[in-house]
Amino acid sequence: MKLAMIGFGQAGGKIVDKFLEYDERTGSNIVRSAVAVNTAKADLMGLERVPEENRVLIGQARVKGHGVGADNELGAEIAEEDIDEIQGAVDNIPVHEVDAFMIVAGLGGGTGSGGSPVLAKHLKRIYTEPVYGLGVLPGSDEGGIYTLNAARSFQTFVREVDNLLVFDNDAWRKTGESVESGYEQINDEIVTRFGILFGAGEVESHGEVAESVVDSSEIINTLASGGVSTVGYAAEEVEAQSSNGLLSKITGEGEDSMDSANTTNRITSLVRKAALGRLTLPCEITGAERALLVLSGPPRHLNRKGIERGRKWLEEQTGSMEVRGGDYPVSDSGFVASVILLSGVHNVPRIKELQQVAIEAQDNIDEIRAESEEHLEQLVEDDDDELDPLF
Ligand code: GDP
């Protein structure tokens, strides 16, 4: 599936950069065009792969290239004011060649958190292609303001996109790691999952013995449930096939029934692991409206029976009537991976918890503001009001 990716804010830009690296490394061709938008000049300059002409600095009149300092209301205002500048970069995208737009942003900050929903609304008004969001939730250790930003942005962003795919930093952070190296790893995890998912719809048949390749329309139809989505992933190493097929001869891998049974079992077990393991947004999978199962790996390790069983199992687990499935053949891969997209999930305790913490943070902020006005008043005014200010 070909995407026009727009990274909004620092996290968004970095993640889009990573997708470009993934494309280079794997030859996936998911990112047809990449744009980065920011209010901070330094963040835009730090990107490696987004073409320079597609990096848009907005809000120069307001913040002089220094960013909005986690003020997402300001981020939203600036995006509205400078929407024409963003559109200028979007105009470079050959939209007839893309299947969808994808706006990527960290929801806890200011620029991406506030600007993404504004851009989504704008794109939806102008284009007929679907507009998806990839929203990153902050870690719970980041503090009240980030949680409040994320909760407010989440509410707004979901309404403006065709589907919001969510990644929760909190579920993925490791203790004792520097924030930067932590993000490096987390961004790899993000790109692996979404890379396989969106790469699946981009397979051209090079004579691969694919049994039922996932088409980009199946990804689009799964996401058409709207609402919020999460992605599961599990992988297992298999021996890679050498380019001349020698290995398969040596190991005797063939189409005999034993191998086929092993393949089927491996696939069903990978499907379970992906659905029941750590999701990009942890949630209850029961009640997901739609699902898509993608099995990637060397074609001889994929089979229709395994995918069919996995698909049936997912139907039972989710209660959904719309579970699609297919494969994504990658001949030279040393892994078989299962990626599951659960679309239209409803039972997400993490979001309820985020909202609760956000409400508390909002109350505290209001209280502290009121108090500090009072304290300043007490400090500045002399006790018996004997002094007069100059004017
Ligand atoms: P903005 O530039 O004002 O939009 O804000 P940032 O993108 O810097 O930060 C927003 C949030 O994104 C932070 O609160 C973090 O939770 C998260 N974040 C920042 N950088 C990264 C990153 O490289 N990867 C991931 N996964 N999250 C990040």
H or E element, residue 291: strand 290-297
Of the residues 328, 343, 358, which one is the last residue of a structural domain? 343
- Write down the pLDDT at residue 83: 98
Of the residues 200, 218, 238, which one is the last residue of a structural domain? 200
- For residue range 338-363, list pLDDT tens digits in order: 999 999 999 999 999 999 999 999 99
Which residues, 6 or more positions from 252, have their beta carbon under 8 angstroms from its beta carbon?
Answer: none
Query: Which of 8, 10, 178 has the most ligand 1 atoms within 8 A of CB, as the residue to mutate?
Result: 10
Ligand 1 centroid–CA 12 distance in Å is: 7
Ligand 1 centroid–CA 92 distance in Å is: 26
Residue with CA closest to ligand 1 atom 24: 183
Ligand 1 centroid–CA 179 distance in Å is: 10
With respect to residue 380, please indicate whether it lies within any of the assigned structural domains: no
Q: 257: pLDDT confidence band, cut at 50, 70 and 90? A: low
Find out whether the beta carbon of 11 lies less than 6 Å from any atom of ligand 1: yes
Please check whether residues 274 and 195 belong to one and the same domain: no
Least confident among 46-50, 146-150, 385-389? 385-389
**The pLDDT of residue 143 is above 50:** yes
Please check whether residues 35 and 156 belong to one and the same domain: yes
| Average pLDDT, rounded, for the chain | 92
Q: 175: pLDDT confidence band, cut at 50, 70 and 90? A: confident
Please check whether residues 58 and 180 belong to one and the same domain: yes
With respect to residue 216, please indicate whether it lies within any of the assigned structural domains: no
Nearest ligand 1 atom to the CA of 68 is 3
Please list the residues that pair with 232 across neighbouring strands: 340
With respect to residue 291, please indicate whether it lies within any of the assigned structural domains: yes
- Residues of each annotated binding site for GTP: 10-14, 110-112, 142, 169, 187
- The total number of structural domains that make up the chain: 2
Residue with CA closest to ligand 1 atom 22: 11
Mean pLDDT of 248-256: 46
With respect to residue 355, please indicate whether it lies within any of the assigned structural domains: no
Mean pLDDT of 198-220: 79
Please check whether residues 109 and 189 belong to one and the same domain: yes
Please check whether residues 261 and 118 belong to one and the same domain: no
Least confident among 45-49, 68-72, 238-242, 362-366? 238-242
Residue with CA closest to ligand 1 atom 5: 109
With respect to residue 48, please indicate whether it lies within any of the assigned structural domains: yes
Please check whether residues 187 and 61 belong to one and the same domain: yes
Which residues, 6 or more positions from 77, have their beta carbon under 8 angstroms from its beta carbon?
Answer: 62, 114
With respect to residue 302, please indicate whether it lies within any of the assigned structural domains: yes
- For residue range 309-349, list pLDDT tens digits in order: 999 999 999 999 999 999 999 988 999 999 999 999 999 99
Q: Can you give the CATH number for the domain in which 339 is found?
A: 3.30.1330.20
Please check whether residues 281 and 337 belong to one and the same domain: yes
Please check whether residues 196 and 298 belong to one and the same domain: no
Mean pLDDT of 251-256: 47
Find out whether the beta carbon of 160 lies less than 6 Å from any atom of ligand 1: no
Rounded Cα gap, residues 329 and 369, in angstroms: 57
Please check whether residues 191 and 102 belong to one and the same domain: yes
Please check whether residues 164 and 254 belong to one and the same domain: no
**The pLDDT of residue 205 is above 70:** no
Q: Can you give the CATH number for the domain in which 18 is found?
A: 3.40.50.1440
- Write down the pLDDT at residue 203: 76
Mean pLDDT of 98-105: 98
Write down the H helix ranges in the chain: 9-26, 41-45, 60-63, 72-81, 83-90, 111-126, 144-160, 169-172, 179-200, 216-223, 246-251, 257-276, 304-318, 349-380
Q: Which structural domain range is residue 133 located in? A: 3-200
With respect to residue 244, please indicate whether it lies within any of the assigned structural domains: yes
Token output for 389 = 């200010």
Place of tokens 């299962």: 338
Please check whether residues 126 and 241 belong to one and the same domain: no
Phi-psi region at 283: left, alpha or beta (left = phi > 0; alpha = psi -120 to 50): beta
- For residue range 370-379, list pLDDT tens digits in order: 999 999 999 9
Find out whether the beta carbon of 116 lies less than 6 Å from any atom of ligand 1: no
3-state secondary structure of 130: coil
**The pLDDT of residue 53 is above 70:** yes
Please give the angle made by the CA atoms of 187, 63 and 70, to the nearest 5 degrees: 45
Mean pLDDT of 35-41: 98
> Helices (H) and strands (E) in the chain — how many of each?
14, 10
